[in-house]
């Protein structure tokens, strides 16, 4: 059995990855959760996955706990998905963002050097590292992040190069563009919109406040992207990859399609709140994922329209909206 450690196990990506590895049948999965989160939510994990995996206590801001986690799990593969991942919050909690997203991975790799130096490591990088460089963005594009989140992720991304080149660790960085699902946290835009549509359809809400409707993003399905993570760790030599769809849609398009599912015009229910605008925003992100296709044999399987429909219909069913139960 291959032993895999997933940090950030209870999040969207961690839960999809845990389900994905369990389905392969030859993995023993360890999921890291924070010690202070004694009531951590496992709602994102399927019942079958919960029963077959092992939870271990650790924190990305505590190097000693990371050492203990690796000593316990003795992983063959490490997927570092833990992060402070809500970009707007990174301005309000810049120091914590740097601690978790930049220094945390370094502490993890330092521990891996001594405990499991042959382990293959996946580092979750992000399209936010590109900032406002011209689209499409690929592995060779300049990186000029426009948020504390992007800066912290870029620091870890560069340090991964250092640990790979200096110490010979097998570290790959997946530069993932926006990827969504019904497992997204409720503070993220796409989930917030899907929830609002369901509440409006139920008659429990009259509207929703949003920020910049003009920002363009490359949105894919999270379930597709964990497959790319796994493929990266099966290579003979570590390489970094951009993962996305190559298609760009504005926030406004997402909102319009979401409300159309319940037959309503979003302009009657959505209003812009200046307080939700980012101090500095990234205008357009669009992935050039040709390397992932050519080297990994990976490609996205789901469309933008499918993703919006899946997310909204999930919330409509949960809310018990008539006709969607």
To the query of whether residue 149 is one of the catalytic residues in this protein, the response is yes
How far is residue 49's CA from residue 25's CA, in Å, rounded to a whole number? Answer: 11
To the query of whether residue 266 is one of the catalytic residues in this protein, the response is no
To the query of whether residue 51 is one of the catalytic residues in this protein, the response is no
Q: Would you list the DSSP string of 198-264?
A: HHHHHTS-S-EEES-TT-EE--EEHHHHHHHHHHHTTSSS---EEE--S--EEHHHHHHHHHHTTT-
Scanning the structure block, which residue is given the tokens 């909690």? 93
- Residue in 10, 126, 245, 248 annotated catalytic: 126
Task: Spell out the residues 6+ positions from residue 45 whose beta carbon is closer than 8 angstroms to its own.
Answer: 9, 10, 15, 18, 19, 53
- Residue in 7, 10, 77, 128 annotated catalytic: 128
**Percentages (nearest 5) of helix, strand, coil residues in the chain:** 45, 20, 40
How far is residue 47's CA from residue 18's CA, in Å, rounded to a whole number? Answer: 11
**Catalytic residue positions?**
126, 128, 149
């Amino acid at each position: 059995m291959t032993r895999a450690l997933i940090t950030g196990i209870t999040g969207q990506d961690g839960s999809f990855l845990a389900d994905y590895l369990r389905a392969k049948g030859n993995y023993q999965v360890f999921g890291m959760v924070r010690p202070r989160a004694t009531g951590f939510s496992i709602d994102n994990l399927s019942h079958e996955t919960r029963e077959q995996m092992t939870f271990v206590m650790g924190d990305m801001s505590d190097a000693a706990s990371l050492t203990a986690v690796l000593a316990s799990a003795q992983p063959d593969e490490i997927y570092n998905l833990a992060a402070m991942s809500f970009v707007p919050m990174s301005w309000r909690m810049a120091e914590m963002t740097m601690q978790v997203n930049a220094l945390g991975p370094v502490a993890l790799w330092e521990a891996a050097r001594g405990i499991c130096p042959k382990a293959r490591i996946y580092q979750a990088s992000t399209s936010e590292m590109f900032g406002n460089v011209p689209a499409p963005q690929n592995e060779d594009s300049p990186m000029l992040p426009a948020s504390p989140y992007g800066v912290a992720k870029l620091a870890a991304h560069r340090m991964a190069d250092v640990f790979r080149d200096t110490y010979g660790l097998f570290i790959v960085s997946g530069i993932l563009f926006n990827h969504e699902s019904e497992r997204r946290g409720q503070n993220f835009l796409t989930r917030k919109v899907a929830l609002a549509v369901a509440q409006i359809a139920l008659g429990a809400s009259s509207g929703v406040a949003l920020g910049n409707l003009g920002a363009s993003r490359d949105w894919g399905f999270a379930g597709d992207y964990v497959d790319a993570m796994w493929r990266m760790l099966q290579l003979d030599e570590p390489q970094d990859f951009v993962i996305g769809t190559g298609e760009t849609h504005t926030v406004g398009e997402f909102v319009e399609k979401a409300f159309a599912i319940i037959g309503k015009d979003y302009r009657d229910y959505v209003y812009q709140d200046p307080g939700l605008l980012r101090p500095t925003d990234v205008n357009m992100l669009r992935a050039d994922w040709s390397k992932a296709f050519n080297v990994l044999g990976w490609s996205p399987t789901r469309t933008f329209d499918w993703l919006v429909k899946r997310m909204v219909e999930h919330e409509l069913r949960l809310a018990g909206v008539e006709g969607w139960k």
